Homo-oligomer: A and B are copies of this chain.
Amino acid sequence: MGWEEVRAEVLSRIRSRLWAPGALIPGEEALAQEFGVARVTVNRALTELARAGLVERKRKAGTRVAALPIRRATFDIPVIRADVQARGQAYDVRLLREEITRPPLAVAAALGWPISGGEARGAMLGLETLHLADGRPFAHEIRWLNLAVLPDPRPDFARVSANEWLVAHVPFQGGDIAFEALAAGEEVGRAMGLDPATPVFVTERCTWGAEGPVTWVRLTHAPGYRLKTVI
């Protein structure tokens, strides 16, 4: 009996409500004995179930079936070029704007970028990019980059996607991502050839490295875009 079988057995007991939500299940030692495996094997199985959100584990308190067995899903953050090519379409990028200036307040706030009044606020590299699939607008990208992470001279972002350059060259530690539905608006609508009122799927991402903010990105996807995953 391997750890996957142990996990399956425990899972089935949870689903059959033999171990109901909120209930305490036997300790690792007891389960190991019952299943005839080493304790580490049970530990591995329960750790996986805990990661999936089906049980909650606490030292001394033991393992409980989650009161509300929340489902946890994982998805890969799309890399646009790969995404387009996976659909069998031709990928192309067009750099619409590139300038060094101070970012909007909302961007600075999200990144924790100094926003103290007037001149004190630092400049960032602002990029506006249109991603094309088979020549048609696929996504519109607004990005602000911390100049400190860029070499001098900086990469030619008209030729290299900023995202791909970053993942390959800038170590980063974490960030956050948010999804929402918005109207395209004037600026993006014009760039993508959409009515400003068109509902669009928007992804916003902040990334930090060891030495502070790296980049802020807002991706507006063309109508029809669906983010899918398996649970």
Contacts and interface: CB of A to CB of B under 8 A. Distances in A.
Contacts of A72: 74-77
Nearest to A220: B181
Interface in A161-199: 164, 167-169, 171-172, 174-183, 197, 199
Contacts of A225: 180-181
A157 B169 CA distance: 53
Contacts of A227: 178-180
Interface stretch (A27-35, A63-71, A143-151): A63-71
A175 to B, nearest CB: 5
Interface residues of A, number: 49
B178 A181 contact: no
Nearest to A199: B199
Given A178-B227, A179-B201, A181-B199, 4 more contacts: A53-B76, A71-B77, A73-B177, A179-B228
Interface of A: 12, 15-17, 21, 53, 68-77, 79, 82, 164, 167-169, 171-172, 174-183, 197, 199-202, 205, 221, 223, 225-231
14 contacts: A15-B171, A16-B171, A68-B79, A68-B82, A72-B75, A74-B74, A74-B75, A175-B230, A175-B231, A176-B231, A178-B227, A180-B227, A181-B199, A181-B223
